Structure 1
Amino acid sequence: MEENKTRAHQYWKENLKYLGILLSIWFLVSYGAGILFADALNGFRLGGFKLGFWFAQQGSIYVFVVLIFVYVRLMNKLDKKYGYDE
């Protein structure tokens, strides 16, 4: 029983690590590229739009969707590692 608690604790700790990393990436892209560094990025264009504006409007959404798929893949590997897969 104690071994299951330890494994569950390790599983949750690794899950939180993944969440922290992925949410940090999303924060940097959405807040950093869309707001903080928008003026510097506006010197470049993507699809006819200034890059800072593009990140603020669409780029952060695209990155968030990609991060969801990355999270699913990481969690599938984590489930297999700890024996929580079906």
Structure 2
Amino acid sequence: MKKTDENAKAYWRENVKYLVILLSIWFLVSYGAGILFKDALNEIRLGGFRLGFWFAQQGAIYTFVILIFVYVRLMNKLDKKYGYDE
């Protein structure tokens, strides 16, 4: 196995780790806050709306957009770390 093969495997291992973490956050926000923990979150109000409702309608979308920017930043750092940046 060449050094570049080891480099590529380490790159993908770290990439998959980031994906698992970010997708877990995505799942917790969309399914957890919007469905599972809705009743508990509805006890809290945000801007006049119940927090469970807010997460189901808008909070999840905001979180998804933020996760996209976080993923882009993480991947740019990862590309530079392993020499795949252009």
What is the rounded CA distance, in whole Å, between the counterparts of 2:50 and 2:15 in structure 1?
36
- Look up the match of 2:48: 48
Aligned residues: 86
Q: Which residue of 2 aligns with 1:24?
A: 24
TM-score under structure 1 length normalisation: 0.96
Partner of 2:10: 10
Name the structure 2 match of 1:81. 81
**Runs of at least 5 residues in structure 1 that lack an aligned partner in the other structure:** none
The answer for unaligned runs of 5 or more in structure 2 is none
The aligned amino acid for 1:72 is: V
Q: How far apart, CA to CA, are the structure 2 residues paired with 1:49 and 1:83? A: 47
**Deviation digits for residues 4-60 of structure 1 (CA, Å, limit 9, x no counterpart):** 111101101100000000010111111111100000000111121110011011111
Map 1:49-64 → 2, pairs under 5 A: 49-64=49-64
Q: Percent identity?
A: 79
In 1, Cα distance between the equivalents of 2:82 and 2:20? Answer: 20
Hey, which bits of structure 1, 4+ residues long, moved more than 2 A?
none
Distance 2:25 2:69 in 1: 14
Q: Structure 1: how far apart are the matches of 2:4 and 2:18?
A: 21
